Amino acid sequence: MKNYYDIHGLLSIEISDGLGRIEDYIYKELKYFKASQKKEADIKVIFKPDLEFISSSVCLLRDLYYRQGVLYFIYPEGAASFPIKDIAKENITLEIDKAIPLHLAFAFIEKILSLKLIEKGYCLIHAACCKVNDCTTLYAALPGTGKTAWVLDNCSQGAGFLSDDLTLLNKDAEVFSYPRAFTIAKYHRKYFSCYLKNRPLSARIKYRLLKVALFFMSMVSIAWKKLKNKIDKYRQGKDYFRIRIEEVVPGLNILKKDKVREILIAFKSGQEFKDSSVWDTERVVDFLVHNTNRELIKFIDLHLPAFYAYGDGYYRIFKQYLKACFQRQKEIMSSAVEKCTVKICYNNQVQKVFSQQKRDLITSTEEK
């Protein structure tokens, strides 16, 4: 079975043999882009029951193998193939073991997706985006700085929604919706409670019983520190759910695209902290680039030096490709930032911005 997804006519993805839980997970993430196949997909993803490669491959690292222009990333449950030899071609095929945890498989697919979008003159930027009144704002912040809370608060008051965590941006400061699933947690309070209430009764009872059981297991294992830490970590994981925003914001207004007028960069800080430094265009762009590429660079730094050391002809091609991609990404962001107003906020200032946006939105809604 094949499923086809089209990212705003820019890039298409075909998922093959993703039956059952795989199909459900990918569909939840990319539901907004589901389409009928009209042309050959730019990215083909084939899920296989058992991906064989070790017998004729070179071991570069404990979790990295290589064979004739194809890298194999090894996970405890299986492997995922990345054909470096095809990276600059129009079409690329990824093979992933069906046993790999789905969030890791999707993260792997999204890394390739982000590189291929840069080729087209667009980049996935690590930022949330909403249209509050007539102002489309890009909220860029480090993880855990309130992007999801900002989106939920604004959208529940009727703001236009474009994205929660990754936003598609071009050099003209146009943003395109990227409404994939997002993670809701206990600290989202009323939205978390709303999600639990909307779940079937059997699911709610199961969740409560599991939490109680894990609590008692944690108390009993207090004498065994390692076991207790594992149980506590598992407990915390049960307070996170991967859902679609429509599940907690009924009547959500999803905008297909808009033009950014304001970029809000937010940081956590002490209440009295005041930043006297100047944020020029170059500094803003550097923040956006590093905040967006943080995980990709970590992934590259961890694995690719061993591949470069092996040194066959494909390493030069891939190195030049990455350099060109990062350069083009920076150019796209620079051009977009120059067309926007930039605001830098620290902790208590962020809350003031949130409160003011809420008041403006409520006033605007009442007037209509």
Same-domain pairing of 101 and 194:
no
In this structure, what CATH number is given to the domain that contains residue 162? 3.40.50
315 in a domain, yes or no? no
202 in a domain, yes or no? yes
Same-domain pairing of 58 and 137:
no
Q: How many CB atoms neighbour CB 261 within 10 A?
A: 15
**Cα atoms in the 13 Å half-sphere on the side-chain side of 58:** 13
Identify the pLDDT of residue 285: 93
Higher-scoring residue by pLDDT: 107, 23 = 107
Q: What is the pLDDT of residues 218-231, one digit of tens each?
A: 676 766 666 667 66
Q: Please compute the mean of the pLDDT values over residues 124-143 and round it to a whole number.
A: 90
Residue 361, pLDDT > 80, answer no
- Cα–Cα distance for residue pair 253/161, rounded to 1 Å: 6
Same-domain pairing of 274 and 356:
yes
Which residues span the domain enclosing 335?
124-181+248-290+331-367
Same-domain pairing of 138 and 33:
no
Residue 77, pLDDT > 80, answer yes
Length of the chain in terms of residues written: 368
Count of domains forming the chain: 3
303 in a domain, yes or no? no
Same-domain pairing of 38 and 75:
yes
299 in a domain, yes or no? no
β-strand pairing of 70-75 with 58-61: unpaired
Q: Please compute the mean of the pLDDT values over residues 75-94 and round it to a whole number.
A: 88
Same-domain pairing of 210 and 348:
no
323 in a domain, yes or no? no
Same-domain pairing of 201 and 76:
no
**Residue 161: C-alpha distances to residues 128, 153, 187 (Å):** 9, 11, 21
Same-domain pairing of 192 and 176:
no
Average pLDDT of every residue of the chain: 82
Same-domain pairing of 75 and 24:
yes
Same-domain pairing of 259 and 339:
yes
Identify the pLDDT of residue 172: 94
Identify the pLDDT of residue 315: 85
β-strand pairing of 166-170 with 160-163: unpaired
305 in a domain, yes or no? no
325 in a domain, yes or no? no
Residue 52, pLDDT > 80, answer no
Domain end residue (candidates: 120, 145, 160): 120
170 Cβ contact partners less than 8 Å away, ≥ 6 residues apart: 121, 122, 123, 176, 332, 336
Q: How many CB atoms neighbour CB 355 within 10 A?
A: 11
Residue 239, pLDDT > 80, answer no
77 in a domain, yes or no? yes
Lowest mean per-residue pLDDT among 39-43, 76-80, 140-144, 185-189: 185-189
Same-domain pairing of 65 and 97:
yes
Higher-scoring residue by pLDDT: 368, 253 = 253
Domain end residue (candidates: 97, 120, 143): 120
Concatenating the DSSP letter of every residue in 178-190 gives ----EEEEGGGTH
Same-domain pairing of 39 and 68:
yes
